Amino acid sequence: MKKLSVFFALIFAMMGIVRADEGMWLPMFVERLNYVDMQKMGLQLTPEELYSINNSSLKDAIVGLSNGAKPRGFFCTGEIVSGNSLLFTNHHCGYSSIAALSTMEHDYLNEGFAAKSFQEELPAEGVSASFLVRMENVTAEVFSVLDFDMDYVGKQKAINKKIKELEEAASEGGKLNPVIKSFFEGNEYYMFVYKTYTDVRLVFTAAQSIGKFGGDTDNWMWPRHTGDFSVFRVYGDANGEPADYSADNKPLTPKHHLPISLDGVQPDDFTMIWGFPGSTERYMTSFGINYNVDVFYPIVYEVFKAETDVMDEYMKVDKAVNIAYADNKAGLANTWKNFEGQITMLRKNKVAERKVALEEQFKEWVNSDEDRIAEYGEVFGTLDAMYAQLSEVATTLFYPNFLAQLTPMSISAEFADYHEMATIKDAPKEEKIAATEALKQMDIDAMFKDLDARVERDILVAVMNIYGKKFATEELPVEIQKLLKKAKGDWTTLANMIYDNSIFSSPESVKAFIEKPNPKKMTKDPAFVMYNALRDQMYSVAPVYRTANLAISEANHYFVKGLLEFYTRTQPDKKFYPDANSTLRMSYGSVKDYQPADAVSYDYVCTAKGILEKYIPGDFEFDAPQRLLDLIEKKDFGQYADKNGELITCFLSTNDITGGNSGSPIMNGKGELIGLAFDGNWEAMSGDVNFEPKLQRTINVDIRYVLFIIDKVYGATNLIDELDIHKAMPEPIRVEE
């Protein structure tokens, strides 16, 4: 236990050294670790006003957005901005809910929506809003169950069991949602206790021609003119407690809400962002980087890009398809462009090479001491070997996996349990009857909801052809070879043959099958045959994949443990902080421009005139509402104009964020909301692995543009009236007598 105590002390010592703009910090440490630096940069709040367990503080206005009443992570962040729990987040964070609520008659995606009263607000089904009650270090309790003679798997089982016990004890009988997360690759553990509200309602959204202006083309790019925001509200029961949706629920009275500043930003202004960053991998080794860049990311990019290209073709010309596929397409497109950016910038910024230099220093330090050799000496050899194994099986694992997820194979998979039971000769009769009866309980319409047969067919053709190019015919599973032979060796023909002849291609044929289920017919169904063959292909390499990943996890655990000790003893000024893991973090920095290349300089703000410059009438990505264009042409910006009469749409800051921070509030030194973080910049797409101080910027939508859209474009003054809006009085003009 003495060794463990020393180790924890080393971790806490390291957490005090950091750049002002680098690091995503746990708020409970703000007073001890960050407060002095933040004060020097312009923070005017006290530590107690930032984070307090017993009193109202800024943390109480920060909301994690997720699905379900017991989330363990968050897809986005929101912030409470009124005494009636009005919640701001990004448009792309609310996109799924907006799409789900949209119909041909009420096309909120393309027309927008503004509730004029509480009664008009629309339930965002499935979305939950979590407020952090407290966080605490539970490392000692978690590690108390460990026996140092346990192997790595045994330790993980013991840790997971203890985590469940601690979470259950802190839940207060289910009233709270405690979540324990590991830090530093399992070398520390913290508990985060949330109160989660499940009645969340859509209040306002601009048309996606504002909220997604620029589309995939502008994603991660600067300059930017995207009004990436949407507005929701959190409801509770009469006592302000979490409750499922009910017309009797009331808007929640929050512990704290953010005031809003219309003063705008200037270069070097202090900024801080609070939110729930999803994941970073700042301690990833060169072996992991090379695997991602050379193997994994290209596979995902190729398949997802092909799928969204098909969706785009139909979405551009068919309003119903646009509504149906909006959310799915947005998620796929965001992923493939992210991976494209990481592939490009991890190489361009030579991140793997920089990691190799660190690893060589670490190896030299390890090899200078016998005890260190015993503990850390095998780390890099293990990582090298295991990532090589992953590379060998990646094609055989991932391409079949993505193909098996497509219609009609994925629909056929829903019937696999029935088929298994129906074809077991000695299965009890009552179990066979139960399996058949279970088919009648399936919601077939839900399975096919938002699926367009034309789109699904063309996606299948596209991905089938990608799959077909990855394997020689003799490498394919025998059943796929037989199907391909029937298609005369042509993958497009095979895709169409499957779609045309499968029971599982349409809701009508599936319902007909359920009326008269026939396991023999299912056995011969081409989609089901294809699904089983793809599954067997994946299963053939799954053990290697699982074993390699487990070994990588253990090696990373010891590498980070050693790295903490290495930095503390050899480089005491080295910056060290925990990776993001979908827990509440704070980052701080300043407003700043950047220079991405020789002779290229980007300003720190964009103005609305850029919308006019990019505008393309009727374009899928660069169209804009006429009302917005007219106001910009007239420069009719009202109180939302800057001192030069311009309307700022977005601005840059040096804050350290990642996915999950989308929708996070960016605030000034007074804790006033000045914008919403929504993106990073292309040149620093490697930033999740290695922070790039000269290049890395957060792209924020200016709060004045947000309010301008709500007020001047949509006339939703009822929402403006809810807000606490601050604006400094102009300096009086003094005339010398």
pTM: 0.92
pLDDT at 20 over 70: no
| Integer Cα distance of 419 and 634 in angstroms | 66
Domains of the chain in sequence order: 1-282+577-737 (2.40.10.120), 283-392+552-570 (no CATH), 405-540 (no CATH)
pLDDT at 126 over 50: yes
Catalytic residue among 228, 525, 579, 702: 228
CA distances from residue 11 to 17, 27, 51, 191, 375 in whole angstroms, order as listed? 11, 16, 22, 17, 18
Residue with tokens 């079949």: 400
Top-confidence residue, 425 or 710: 710
Catalytic residue among 57, 60, 66, 92: 92
Say which range, 147-156, 218-227, 701-710, has the weakest mean pLDDT: 147-156
Residue with tokens 């129906």: 422
Say which range, 12-21, 55-64, 348-357, 473-482, has the weakest mean pLDDT: 12-21
Instruction: Work out the mean pLDDT of the chain and round it to a whole number.
Output: 94
Query: What is residue 17's predicted lDDT score, i.e. its pLDDT?
Result: 40
Residue-wise pLDDT tens digits, 643-676:
999 999 999 999 999 999 999 999 999 999 999 9
| Integer Cα distance of 160 and 190 in angstroms | 13
Quote the strand ranges of 654-697, DSSP E: 665-667, 673-680
Query: What is residue 226's predicted lDDT score, i.e. its pLDDT?
Result: 98
Q: Produce one character per residue of 189-222: b if its CB has 16 or more CB atoms within 10 Å, e if not.
A: bbbbbbbbbbbbbbbbbbbbbbbbbbbbebbbbb
Top-confidence residue, 288 or 148: 288
Phi, psi of 271 (to 5 degrees): -135, 145
Catalytic residue among 52, 102, 502, 662: 662
CB-CB contact of 41 with 668 (8 Å) = no
Verify whether residue 256 is a known catalytic residue.
no
Residue-wise pLDDT tens digits, 337-390:
999 999 999 999 999 999 999 999 999 999 999 999 999 999 999 999 999 999
Query: What is residue 729's predicted lDDT score, i.e. its pLDDT?
Result: 66
Angle between helix 453-468 and 379-404 (nearest 10): 140
pLDDT at 496 over 50: yes
Query: What is residue 732's predicted lDDT score, i.e. its pLDDT?
Result: 52
pLDDT at 474 over 80: yes
Mean pLDDT, rounded, for 122-141: 97
pLDDT band at 30 (very low <50, low <70, confident <90, very high): confident
Residue 545 neighbours by CB distance under 10 Å = 18
Can you give the three-state secondary structure of 242-290, one letter per residue? CCCCCCCCEECCCCCCCCEECCCCCCCCEEEEEECCCCCCCCCCHHHHH
pLDDT at 35 over 50: yes
Tokens describing residue 119: 């009664």
Task: Give the distance, in angstroms, between the CA of residue 156 and the centroid of all CA atoms in the same chain.
Answer: 26
pLDDT band at 583 (very low <50, low <70, confident <90, very high): very high
Quote the strand ranges of 437-488, DSSP E: none
According to DSSP, the β-strands at 260-261 and 725-726 are: parallel
% of the chain beyond a pLDDT of 90: 92
Task: Give the distance, in angstroms, between the CA of residue 385 and the centroid of all CA atoms in the same chain.
Answer: 30
Verify whether residue 662 is a known catalytic residue.
yes
Verify whether residue 228 is a known catalytic residue.
yes
pLDDT at 426 over 90: no
